Structure 1
Amino acid sequence: MMQQYFVTLARYHVWATDQLLAHIEAISEAEYRQDRGLYFGSVHGTLNHMLVGERHWYARLADGVSLKMALDIELESGRDALAAALREAVGRWEKWLTDHPPQNFDRDLHYNRASGAPAVAPFAPTLGHVFNHGTHHRGQLTAALTGMGRACPELDLIYWTVAMRQAEMNK
């Protein structure tokens, strides 16, 4: 049951990221790079941080390694390359979770923080953090889009859930 829940979150994570990136494509380069008062400054800085987080947590959870990478390091300077890398990163979770042994959801995760300091956390809530982190920063970016006077997507999980159920019924 827990495994299926996380697979569902992984699918939603891909959909919500795609929806957001589609709306971000419509903004100008100046709007994309301007400091919007977000924790990571601009739309670009926030998307880049999301990619850093994806890579950190996938390495820790799926590969059992900890990357020594600052949370604000710029991984991709171009917006198309960044969007493609972020789409690829969020897309990896579903397959990994589908193949993941269910008993591992009850174990602890031992890893090193970006600073190198060791940490231990329960596996399932830590995995939940990955998807919550994405939701948090997507929320910041939708607020930034609204602040620019732009349309933003409706990204609530329930809307995706209802749409997926409807699509299943229409098959």
Structure 2
Amino acid sequence: MNNTSHFPQLATYNQWMNRKLYDAAAALPADRLHEDRGAFFGSVFGTLNHLVIADLIWFKRIAANLPGFASLRCLDDLPRPASLDQRLCATLPELDGLRTRLDAAIIAFCDEVRPSQLEGPFEYTSTKGVTSRKRLGDVLLHVFNHQTHHRGQATTLFSQMGVDVGVTDLLLLVPNVD
């Protein structure tokens, strides 16, 4: 399996895990969902919101700097976040709708992007104004790693509240071989 084939699998894992987290979040009372629990982005809601923000920022950068991806056109009418903790939605169902839309776009993008594009340069400007030029595949790997990092925080927050989100291992989605 080459690196290119990992991305659709990571996108599917991302969607699967996000669904588990949003289902767990939907079972919480609003006060617990928004309770500051000392995580990087405060609450479960803040953490889920941050993940949407980061994905919006990255995939809007990709769409702007590498135009032509049909899979990312659905993001055109979505806001470009101004900060990493900007509250994008007032309610969990609104955030869940945005998350669902993003996950579908990410899966479609990973199916659409070609190996030569992943090997090619990708230039972007960070939220702090720093311009960088990196391989697109390395940036995409960072995006998935970032999601895993913050989902790990979210599962810890759920665990601290006595909520079991279930098994989170990517291995469950890895097919058996003959």
TM-score normalised by length of structure 2 = 0.84
**Matched residue, 2:9:** 8
Are positions 1:144 and 2:146 aligned together?
A: no
**Runs (4+) of structure 1 moved beyond 6 Å?**
none
What is the Cα deviation at residue 132 of structure 1? Answer: 1.0
Structure 2: distance between partners of 1:11 and 1:88 = 13
Classify the secondary structure of the residue corresponding to 2:168.
Answer: coil
Counterpart Cα distance in 2 of 1:22 and 1:153: 11
Superposed CA deviations along residues 97-153 of structure 1, whole A, max 9, x for unmatched, are 212222011122100111222122221111011111111111111100110112222
- Describe the superposition over 1:63-95 as per-residue Cα deviations: whole angstroms up to 9, x where unpaired: 328x56211111111111011111211221121
Taking the TM superposition and a 5 Å limit, the aligned residue runs for 1:12-161 are 12-64=13-65, 67=80, 69-161=82-174
Alpha-carbon distance in 2 for matches of 1:100, 1:63: 15
CA distance in 2, matches of 1:31, 1:160: 31
Assess if the C-alpha contact under 8 Å between 2:10 and 2:144 holds in 1: yes
Unaligned runs of 5+ in 2: 67-79
Structure 1 unmatched runs, 5+: 167-171
- Distance in 2 of aligned mates of 1:116 and 1:109: 16
Partner of 2:74: none
Is the Cα contact below 8 Å between 2:37 and 2:43 reproduced in 1?
yes
Q: CA deviation at 1:4?
A: 1.8
CA contact 2:35–2:43 (8 Å) conserved in 1: yes
Identity fraction in percent: 28
SS of 1:119's equivalent in the other structure is strand
